[in-house]
Amino acid sequence: MTEVETLAKNHNWNLPTKCSVCGADLVINANHKELKCSNEFCKSRYMGRISKWTDTLKIKEFGLTTIEKMIDNNIFKTIPDLYKIDYAKIASMDGFGEKSAAKMKSELDSHKEATLAEFIAGFNITDCGENIIQNVIDGKGFNTLDAFLNAKANDFIMDGLKEKTADKLYNGLQALKEDMLETVKFVKIKEVKKVEGGSLGGQSFCFTGPAQRKRSELWEIVEKNGGVVHESCKKDTNFLVMADKNSTSSKAEKARKNGTTMLSEEEFIGMCEIL
């Protein structure tokens, strides 16, 4: 019996146990939140990987339906394929046309930078999200892609990263090594300069809703000043920056309840030494 079948049986959960696309066994991640196909060559896996990558790099225009159509039409399948797209082919596809092709190109071309943690996590290795990768970078000093690719599974073991996850990370990196090395020819891994102290030192910031500055710009300002970005507002987020800081939206109310301080964009900028 597979782990998923055992879980379903023991807890009386109504879980699918086979992939609906290819029929292979499904596997479940460590926090039991995500089921995925065990067949590395299943279309669902390619779709999941492209989707994770475009989400991580904030590349728009790549919804799951679009991704599926592109895979079916042999436009791309792997992440490096995204950087070698034949746009004329997309322009001639039913339901797409030149405008969509141009939009996709401009989205891909304008998001060609990622931090090392984003880059590796963007390849969607099970249980190895951005936080885990960042912990390895900080805790082990692995601050290049090569350092990750050349490491042994045991090298990843540390506080908060047990053998099982270390194995998943190692196996995932080995399986995706060629794709990563090809992708890095097109996508720049940007350096994150850790600011010791800084005017936002030790504080975490989350941004929501529209703002004067681009989201990526705001995040960069946080990092430059020694703060930490929370992509979503968590219990321990210190500041939530939004256009209307008196908002009564559920997001705002929840944040206040957790003791998060609400800031306007200008108040936030006022706290930063380096812009």
Interacting residues toward Zn ion by CB under 5 A = 19, 21-22, 24, 37, 39, 42, 44
> Which is nearest to 200 in space by CA: 126, 268, 103?
268
3-state secondary structure of 122: coil
**Which of residues 37 and 137 has its CB atom nearest to Zn ion in the complex?**
37
Write down the least CB distance from residue 28 to Zn ion, Å.
14
Length of the chain measured in residues = 275
CA–CA separation, 10 and 4 (whole Å)? 10
**In the complex with Zn ion, which residue's Cβ is closer, 39 or 203?**
39
Q: How far is the CB of 26 from Zn ion (least distance, A)?
A: 8
d(CA 259, CA 151): 41
Q: What angle do CA 196, 199, 200 make, to 5 degrees?
A: 85
CB of 7 to Zn ion, least distance (A): 18
Nearest-approach distance from CB 51 to Zn ion, in angstroms:
15
Going 156 to 159 to 161 to 163, the CA torsion angle's sign is: positive
∠ Cα 42 168 175 (to 5°): 50
In the bound state with Zn ion, the residue whose beta carbon lies nearer, of 64 and 275, is 64
Q: How far apart are the first and last CA of the chain?
A: 56
Kindly state the smallest distance separating residue 20's Cβ from Zn ion, in Å: 8
In the block, residue with structure tokens 């206040």? 256
Token pair, residue 84, equals 């070698």
Q: Which residue has the tokens 């990843």?
A: 156
- Fill in the DSSP letter of residue 244: -
Of 158 and 175, CB closest to Zn ion: 175
CB of 218 to Zn ion, least distance (A): 39
